[in-house]
Amino acid sequence: MPADQPVALILLNMGGPDSLAAVEPFLFNLFADRELIQLPAGGLLQKPFARLISHFRAKKVVENYRQIGGRSPLLEWTNKQAVGIAERLGERFRPYVIMRYWQPRAEQVLADIKAAGIQTAVVVSLYPHYTGATTGSSVNDFKKAAAAVHPELEYRLIEEWYDWPGYLDALANRVNEGLDAFHDLLRDEVQILFSAHALPQKFIDRGDPYQQHVEATVEQVMERVGYYDWSIAYQSRSGPVKWMEPGTEETIAQLAAAGHRALLMVPVSFVSDHIETLQEIDIEYRELAVRQGIVNFQRAPSLNDHADFLDAMAALVREHLRR
């Protein structure tokens, strides 16, 4: 990349509704993605299916968003991450964010980049662990839009970084911050539960490395943290398909049944707060844990815009630019 030319730093993420009214159209965009949900009948029924299921799911999901303030904070956090990483890379890097299922979408952002006269970009998936359902879909969406809107753009892709040392260090720091929330007399008893977003088992069976990546991340984080007992589970499972196991709800119940009373949950496949940390973990899983007898429940802070995480991502970009 020419040293005197501006570079777009583009972060790819899932997106989330920015109001309660946006929940149903957001869900439609999600369920209409054939890289995420593949109906046996092919693409013909995808949009009718997406309209139907988003309509019926919206009522419950609206209430979940209402519990966390009526909108997703994902865009706010992703913008902060983009700005923070770009600042660390130098003034020629210009921050941009593309969301897969809500605004700002790829076509809009690429048009802005083209209008700004920017001809080179670094594109970073904010999913550390690769699966075609998340990183694959977001990258394909970006490539399609780039070819249509800004075909002159030269870009480099960073699609997975589950074992990047700076990321592991930052996540280990969040785990230690979560442990610090327990009384000193309880710390030796704390069970650490890493919770990642579940995928339908068929994604793993077809060869997606997602589960291997999650397990490698957790093992290397715990090498940094130390001697605590830990386990991995998968959250956000819904619908009549076979999902990755074990489920987070079942694992919480099993830990409680085994007599454990202190639990630290660590969101591992998410790099910022959103509905699955703020509502699913902080409200639903906390209530479940208390009902099961776990009286000391904490969640490790999300990476969000912590300086060590932004330092790590800037270093990751520099490393890829050197190759």
Query: ω into residue 246 within 30 of 0, thus cis?
Result: yes
249 is catalytic: no
How many CB atoms within 10 Å of residue 210?
A: 26
> Is the preceding omega at residue 17 within 30 degrees of 0, hence cis?
no
Specify whether 129 is catalytic. Answer: no
Catalytically annotated residue among 9, 30, 89, 99: 30
For residue 100, indicate whether it is catalytic.
yes
Give the residue among 127, 224, 229 at the shortest CA–CA distance from 171.
224
Catalytic residue among 9, 12, 27, 36: 36
151-163 burial, b for 16+ CB within 10 Å, e for fewer?
Answer: eebebebbebbbe
Pairwise CA distance, residues 101 & 135, whole Å: 13
Side chain identity, residue 36: L
Would you give the DSSP letter of residue 321? H
208, 273, 282, 305: which is the annotated catalytic residue?
Answer: 273
Phi, psi for 25 (deg, rounded to 5):
-65, -35
The catalytic residue among 12, 14, 74, 99 is 14
Annotated active-site residue 36? The verdict is yes
Of 101, 127, 210, 234, catalytic: 101
Residue 11 known to be catalytic: no
Q: CA nearest 320: which of 112, 183, 184, 164?
A: 164
Q: Which of 94, 174, 197, 299 is catalytic?
A: 197
Q: Which of 100, 174, 213, 306 is catalytic?
A: 100
Three-state SS across 221-236?
Answer: HHHHHCCCEEEEEEEC
**CA 91, CA 171: separation in Å to the nearest integer?**
27
Contact between 295 and 190 under an 8 Å Cβ cutoff? The reply is no
30 is catalytic: yes
Task: Determine whether 280 is an active site residue.
Answer: yes
3-state secondary structure at position 129: coil
Residue 40 CB coordination number (10 Å): 5
Q: Choose, from 18, 24, 208, 280, the residue flagged as catalytic.
A: 280
- C-beta separation of 78 from 97 below 8 A: yes
Which of the residues are catalytic? 14, 30, 36, 100-101, 197, 273, 276, 280
